A and B are shown apart, each in its own frame.
Chain A
Amino acid sequence: MPMDYGLSEAQEITARTAREFFDNECPSELVREIEDQELDRSGELERKMADLGFWSIAIPEAYDGVGGDLRDLVAFCEEAGRAMLPGPYFTTMAIGVPALLTLGTEAQKQGFLPQIAQGNRTLTLALTERTWGWSADAIETTATLKDGQFILNGRKDFVPNGNTADYLIVVARTNPSAPPELGISLLLVDARSPGVSARPFRSLGGDRLSEITFNEVRVPQANLLGNLNQGWYQLQPVLDQAKVAQSSWMIGGAQKTMEMAVDYAKERIQFGRPIGSFQDQQTRIANMWLAIKGARVQTYRTASLLAHGDPATLQAAMTKVAAAEAYRLCSYGSVHVHGGVGYMMEFDLQLYYRRAKAGEAFLGNSDLHKDLVADTILGRD
């Protein structure tokens, strides 16, 4: 394929269709409504999304998807992030699907992907525990293999969609005597299994996160995702893909806040002139534009690498930092431009501002990823 730094025609159509759909079906009023619900998703919205094929993006046609790859998901995710799409779409499509495609057996792919593509099954990742960290030594939940099944015990915390997703990809310790990164496995756990108990709580980001306890939960051996004890390493390339999709999601939100700032700067008159005619505001807004566009180019580049099957852990880390920083800069900058209005609950900016923070935190914050970059360049020893 020839070099192409823009969106392909198919990606443009996906983005345009998504924009129209979200403008009509997912206005900020719905986002606010769902924030107040414990079951923080809209079945109706998800059904409409299924009708338009949005759940089948980047799922191969062999599994009832529309085909395509991470890049198509990236194009879609910018629009979803712009609309602040609530519910389990991200964890299902940006984590669950790549995990199944990369690590799943044929039976697992056949068992899950067509259901996902129809909007009938959702997934999330249950990795973090009480210490919250994203490193292997934070994993204390255990899964003991016995008589053809795993017995799962432990507690996960801060799990997005933990109370609504159909299946949990649980990151569990299957060999406690091995070094932390070498004794971990990934299990596909039916959320309705006896012994699974999710307690949702509100997050600053507006969604519900869950504390999930596993008490002698039986998981069939066939639900091992990837190889026994190799789960930690096998998960990282999957998370690289997730980080790229997440970056695009954050860029979508950042873009919206920048547009709001530009519009307001043109309209708001003080001292007899629009505030957008003051140089400092121009500087602030120009820097917002810079940050977004740079992060977007990095996102596309990393998506391109991963779609070509190249490793991109370093680039994914860089991209996530850039996108999170862009979202932070833009949401903060936009509040600043708006003045007091920007700070009000009834004004939409606070929705974005909170999501910028939550987005940075999920899958590891910018400090963690900067450390990853430094470790890669300078060595860890």
Chain B
Amino acid sequence: MDYSFTPEQEAFRKEIREFCQENMNPEVMSDGILVGLGGGADMYSRNFHKKMAEKGWLGLGWPKEYGGGARDFMDMAMFMEETAYWRAPMAAYGTTVVFIGNAIMHFGSEEQKKEILPKIISGDVTCTLGYTEPNAGSDLASLQLRAVADGDDYVLNGQKVFNTAAHYASHYFMATRTDINAPKHRGISLFLYPMRDIPGLTIRPLYTSAGGRTNEVFAENVRIPKSMMVGELNRGWYHLATALDFERVGIGSAVGGIQRSLDDTVAYLKGPGSAQRHNPIIRRYIAETAIDLDALRNWIYMIAWMQNHGLIPSNEGSAVKILASELQVRLAQGAMRLFGELGLLREEEANHRQLPLANDVSTFYMATSASTALAGSTEIQQGIIAMRGLGLPRSY
């Protein structure tokens, strides 16, 4: 029962912090683009991504044999927490490095590992996830996009939606249906292929209410080599289930972003908003948020510890997704209450009044409008805990 950090871990944390403070300047961030929900960490900057590559931080948690930094899960958790706190443009990191990098490492072929992993490390490969379809959201296993074998290739036909990085990523990690006769979970295969300018792939923007961007994607006879299949034919669902656990942990690392929002709110209450500092309702709100955030942080480090010991954080991954998303919503709504009319200001007027925080508040409010629904809704996560974790009989 020892929760203390080692001097080495504290030193690493300091290093990350200094890196963020140094590199989040207008020059480096000049190529930043909004992705996903919009605002804060949902940005991608190729410059910043490359700077991380120079530090050797793109394969931070990977084994040395794949060019990684061989750092453990605790260091990874700290890295995600610190970069989120400083609102670094980490949009490509979570998906590409953590999620897909781990997926390739766990069930990719040796050739794929040799081909892809070094390019992720160098920052030359960025990935987008191709899972969700108009008719396959929570019920992801019912996905329909077809991959039909044809000679040395597969031919893809169908549609994806909410593929967040599709407008800039170099590679597509796509879940397809390869067997229409098998039960739905047993006919799915995964592919990773270069996607920019590939014939037959059409990408159309979808703009979120927070000013971010995601995409709908149409595949019409898109031809990819068979060698681009990742994992086993028709076993994709099972590979995906493991990979999704990694994604949830990544979302939980939003604790850094939530802490930052809380700190900004507290700073506001001690500064321009000090008239409200004594309001008992506000004080109660701050206390409850801090307590829940404290729990979330400890969850995340506990999960990192589990992963360091080879344990699979399935229920725990679901837990942090629930807690992080709900906390984000509460924080956004609380901040909006606190700011009153000022929370309605958008960027132009907020800057005009020299109150940029107001724009953050209104953006955050919109960005969290779907937090509990996305990336595995709260209901799905609760179902995983209840059915997979606690063994309750299936509700669906």
A residues engaging B (CB < 8 A)? 1-8, 11, 71, 74-75, 262, 265-266, 273-274, 276-279, 281-283, 285-287, 289-290, 293-295, 297-298, 300-301, 303-305, 307-308, 315, 318, 321-322, 370-371, 373-375, 377-379
Contacts and interface: CB of A to CB of B under 8 A. Distances in A.
B291 A378 contact: no
Interface string B251-276: 00000000000000010011000000
Contacts of A308: 4
B57 to A, nearest CB: 22
B395 interface: yes
A294 B295 contact: yes
B270 A301 contact: no
Q: Lowest 3 A-B CB distances belong to which pairs?
A: A282-B386, A374-B283, A286-B382
Given A7-B1, A276-B392, A277-B394, A377 B386 contact: no
B192 to A, nearest CB: 33
Interface residues of B, number: 47
Given A3-B5, A4-B305, A318-B290, 15 more contacts: A3-B74, A5-B302, A5-B305, A75-B1, A277-B392, A283-B382, A285-B386, A285-B390, A286-B385, A289-B315, A290-B319, A290-B385, A294-B319, A305-B4, A377-B266
Given A279-B396, A374-B284, A378-B283, A289 B323 contact: no
A153 to B, nearest CB: 36
Contacts of B319: 289-290, 293-294
Contacts of A276: 386, 392-393
13 contacts: A4-B305, A5-B1, A5-B2, A74-B1, A262-B392, A266-B392, A274-B393, A276-B392, A289-B385, A318-B294, A370-B291, A373-B291, A378-B286
B235 interface: no
Given A266-B391, A279-B396, A321 B291 contact: yes
A379 B282 CA distance: 13
- Chief secondary structure at chain A's binding surface: helix
Contact of A286 (B266, B390, B391, B396): B390
Contacts of B286: 373-374, 377-378
A279 B383 contact: yes
Interface string B313-330: 001100100110000000
A379 B1 contact: no
Interface string B1-43: 1111110000000000000000000000000000000000000
B283 A282 contact: no
A261 B266 CA distance: 39
Contacts of A71: 1
B288 interface: yes
B74 to A, nearest CB: 7
B299 A297 contact: yes
Interface-centre pick from B3, B6, B284, B391 (highest chain A CB count, 10 A):
B3
A319 to B, nearest CB: 8
A297 B295 contact: yes
A7 B386 CA distance: 25
B288 A322 contact: no
Contact of A279 (B4, B316, B395): B395
Interface in B143-157: none
Contacts of A293: 299, 316, 319
B374 interface: no
Contacts of A274: 392-393
Interface in B184-208: none
A378 B291 CA distance: 14
Nearest to A304: B3
A57 to B, nearest CB: 14
B303 to A, nearest CB: 9
A256 B338 CA distance: 40
B182 interface: no
Nearest to B296: A294
B298 interface: yes
A300 B3 contact: yes
Nearest to A367: B284
Given A277-B392, A283-B379, A4 B2 contact: yes
A70 to B, nearest CB: 9
B121 to A, nearest CB: 27
A379 B385 CA distance: 39
B295 A322 contact: yes
Contacts of A6: 1, 305
B382 A3 contact: no
Nearest to B301: A5
A297 B302 contact: yes
A71 B381 CA distance: 31
B4 A371 contact: no
Given A282-B395, A294-B323, A374-B284, A305 B385 contact: no
A97 B286 CA distance: 34
Contacts of A303: 1
A94 to B, nearest CB: 16
Nearest to A315: B294
Contacts of A75: 1
Contact of B287 (A277, A286, A377): A377
